[in-house]
């Protein structure tokens, strides 16, 4: 049922005229979405941290090695969750400052479809593609 409500909300946003881009309803929707995602991430991060604390190693060498690998994966997961939390906080700040939904590089609208897929996006599609091409070019030059 919640999924259907989410789909209905997305459809309503996408049906709005272009000139209504980042109107009060859209801003409220993204604020709620980001706030819910933040709360969910905080909960998951607390659980991950508790699992790390509880994973004290005991047993033979094989058990310790398996525990060490699990711990390494949990730490990577906690790092990803922490980075995403910071990104959500920055996005909420952009929302408060009236900059949400607009490209940091060009000032152009990022677009509702892109924001629905990645609510923390800060670049429009063209600017993101340009950035990725530059990164790819730089990576190729470094490996040569």
> pLDDT tens digits, residue range 18-28?
888 999 999 99
DSSP state of 118: -
| pLDDT value at 140 more than 90 | no
- At the second CATH level, the architecture of 2-102 is Up-down Bundle (1.20)
**Residue 117 Cα distances to 113, 120, 123, 126, 128, angstroms:** 6, 9, 13, 16, 14
Nearest to 77 by CA among 54, 49, 55, 43: 49
pLDDT band at 4 (very low <50, low <70, confident <90, very high): low
For residues 91 and 3, which has the higher predicted lDDT (pLDDT)? 91
Q: Is the Cα torsion angle 36, 41, 44, 50 positive or negative in sign?
A: negative
pTM: 0.80
Distance (Å, rounded) from C-alpha 14 to C-alpha 62?
A: 54
In the chain, what percentage of residues exceed pLDDT 70? 89
What are the structural domain ranges in the chain?
2-102
């Amino acid at each position: 049922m919640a999924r259907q409500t989410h789909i209905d909300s997305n459809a309503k946003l996408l049906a709005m005229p272009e000139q209504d881009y980042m109107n009060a309803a859209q801003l409220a929707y993204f604020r709620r979405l980001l706030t819910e995602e933040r709360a969910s991430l905080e909960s998951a991060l607390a659980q991950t941290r508790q699992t790390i604390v509880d994973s004290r190693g005991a047993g033979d060498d094989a058990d310790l090695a398996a525990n060490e690998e699990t711990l390494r994966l949990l730490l990577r997961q906690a790092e990803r969750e922490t980075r995403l939390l910071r990104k959500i906080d920055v996005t909420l700040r952009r929302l408060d400052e009236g900059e949400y939904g607009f490209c940091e590089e060009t000032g152009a609208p990022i677009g509702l479809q892109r924001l629905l897929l990645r609510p923390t996006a800060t670049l429009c599609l063209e600017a993101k593609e340009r950035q990725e091409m530059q990164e790819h070019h730089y990576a190729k030059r470094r490996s040569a």
